[in-house]
Structure 1
């Protein structure tokens, strides 16, 4: 492998920057899209090779081919440890045994031996457990809704370097000021607004109550309205109040509608 000098890297900085961006966002691409075939794969690397000849590079961080990538290995291990769930996937074994092989589709892929299939299964099993038990847990979804609502309400109340809260991404300096102190800044607002009330409900565990969910085959507005009306009828029959601002939260994993009721 040829060594890359600092001078060469500096000369091709834009090309390497673009490569890094493409490696990180590759999983968002549609592999069957004409644009990917005609405009993405023919892009040349600084070495003169085309993206298609080095397709395995795009399987490292965000693998759009198989879904097996270091991003998942990293946050599954971290999150499973944080919440006390088992994670039996051995990423060290995977990195030691994986090989780059040219496959029938003409691409060079990161491949594993058949005897490692069970280990790879554990990766997706861990993903399933984390999504069911943590990421899409009903209480987590409710808290996320409250936090989103709080941030929207605080948008023009809290600014960073002249940018509203939800527009700080437009400036690197403004974005870097966003950290865990946002909640404290919202909590210190006087007089208190809706954003502060949302965070208070989270800390005091005054959370909306999970009513139920219904599976949807198609994402249609009329279906959404129908299910919302059914949820309102159900809650009314129980003589409970319903906060309509929480109606219709869509959980992407199962395409469901979740309706919630504030606790008394």
Structure 2
């Protein structure tokens, strides 16, 4: 804890006095800015003069003086995020990517409040109250409470082990926040109406509901409040501002600062009579850079081939033990629907699963395979091997597969692709291998390969997200991003397409790499798609003639997984 004297400001910027390592002062520029802000936004609620201060790598010292905020952050539900890595398993590739959902959530809450304070200072006519700032910050703090182990990876694992529950991390965040409030009613100053407002700031509101509220003017709070944490129109929100900068810094790419977007934005009434946050037109390229950075991060970091390989291995491992593994007496699907159990579910699940596997009886049909898969993950020997990717020509696939207007590939299509490649692989393998080895080819396509698609876009699928952002030109006119003036300014940097879909294949058995890669190439040729971009090593391990099983999980050769 750090005690602040004088005005109890929420954000304190420390600057080391040159030549005096013990001198800590506020910069004069920062003092001038803080003088325009009223006393701490939370002081009127709790009259608390002992703020909780956290030092963040990106923003310096963040001080929280509101009792409700501190109580939420000290709860087991919020502290759990310290054990959830922001980037799932990316630290296996980028060694410094060990930052957590806790850090990100604190950063989003900080930026949310900072944006509100800037609007409060620059536009007093908006009548932004201290409580408004608190509600938006709580939404920022709690928007990721409901993430499962390994963050977004869990969203893909859960449907594989249960078809009976509908689950997403936004809804789960709301449940956990409700549990926090119920357990701390005396300390958290939030009404049921306040909770409903925070809930709507976290969740995606249905389009028809937002249109109805716009027509009837039935927003509980000012409309732009709901777009600060989760912008359902353009995607330009504080969640994206924080994670792009934070993830880039921790992975060594170096993140851009977008402070000007918060400092110079204004709330304006647009042509459709709706209030929105607008940006000066000279920040147009800053906005475009934000969305372009999103594309690059997904391409280089979030979908890295080794990261995806480990994600799929963890998914296969959890599916193998899902019938017997429990946490606090509940199986995983049940644990995800019970907030009191879910609070104990974090990235440590991999170690718990490993211990569980070794305690399984020897007659368990999945024990040997699960144990070997767990050891492959831990030792990094024999990871699923990336066969490369092919950027799909969706127009050609649309004709062959009779896709709808959205040209969207479904799980059914991927299963067909996987089965076809499996048959190609089997045919190629049996033409080379004879006798017992040929008969030992895996009978299930899921045991041999993984076929998946990766969709990269700027934030709004095939659309340009800048088209949904509003700007203020030099004549103080509000222009939507698809206005001709905006398009002309961006004509030199606009890509031909804002989305691309790739098909990606992983081989699960090292000694089958050459055959799976040939099958992938043949599939691309048959479907008139680009040849796969691959760095797969074709020197695959030779099967042991004495084992009689060329896809044994227990006798694997070490391969290089990062090229």
If the TM-score is normalised by the length of the shorter chain, which range does it land in? Answer: 0.7 to 0.9
Do structure 1's residue 207 and structure 2's residue 383 form an aligned pair? yes
Partner residue of 2:246? 78
User: With CA pairs under 8 Å and 6+ residues apart, which has the higher RCO, 1 or 2?
Assistant: 2
Partner residue of 2:480? none
Cα distance in 2 for partners of 1:174, 1:160 equals 7
Partner residue of 2:222? 54
Residues 199/75 of structure 1: CA separation in 2 closer, same or farther (3 Å cut): farther
When the two chains are superposed, the root-mean-square deviation of aligned CA atoms in Å is: 3.2
TM-score of the aligned structures, taking structure 1 as reference length: 0.80
Aligned residues: 251
Do structure 1's residue 37 and structure 2's residue 211 form an aligned pair? yes
Q: Contact 1:101–1:110 (CA<8 Å) still a contact in 2?
A: yes
Q: Deviations over 1:3-59 (max 9, x none)?
A: 55xxxxx89711111111111112xx453x3x4434x6589xxxxx83287221121
**SS at 2:318's partner residue?**
helix
Cα distance in 1 for partners of 2:228, 2:328 equals 36
Q: Which moved more, 1:17-26 or 1:162-171?
A: 162-171
Q: Contact 1:53–1:108 (CA<8 Å) still a contact in 2?
A: no
Partner residue of 2:29? none
Partner residue of 1:260? 506
Partner residue of 2:418? 228
Q: Deviations over 1:142-169 (max 9, x none)?
A: 2211112222233243322322123312
**SS at 1:180's partner residue?**
coil
Residues 66/159 of structure 1: CA separation in 2 closer, same or farther (3 Å cut): same
- How far has the Cα of 1:141 moved from its partner? 1.8
Q: Which moved more, 1:11-20 or 1:239-248?
A: 239-248
Partner residue of 1:249? 452
Q: Contact 1:213–1:257 (CA<8 Å) still a contact in 2?
A: yes
Do structure 1's residue 184 and structure 2's residue 351 form an aligned pair? yes
Partner residue of 1:7? none
Higher helix share: 1
Residues 11/37 of structure 1: CA separation in 2 closer, same or farther (3 Å cut): farther
Q: What pairs up with 1:109-128 in 2 under 5 angstroms?
A: 109-128=276-295
Partner residue of 1:24? 202
- How far has the Cα of 1:226 moved from its partner? 4.4
Structure 2 segments unaligned to the other structure (5+ residues): 1-126, 132-187, 361-366, 395-406, 431-440, 457-499, 512-563
**SS at 2:307's partner residue?**
helix
Q: Which moved more, 1:203-212 or 1:60-69?
A: 203-212
Q: Which moved more, 1:141-150 or 1:209-218?
A: 209-218
Cα distance in 2 for partners of 1:131, 1:60 equals 22
- How far has the Cα of 1:223 moved from its partner? 4.1
Cα distance in 2 for partners of 1:94, 1:154 equals 47
**SS at 1:64's partner residue?**
coil
Q: What pairs up with 1:39-188 in 2 under 5 angstroms?
A: 50-51=218-219, 54-88=222-256, 90-188=257-355
Cα distance in 2 for partners of 1:139, 1:18 equals 41
Cα distance in 2 for partners of 1:256, 1:191 equals 40
1:219 aligns with one of 365, 385, 409:
409
Residues 232/152 of structure 1: CA separation in 2 closer, same or farther (3 Å cut): closer
Partner residue of 2:517? none
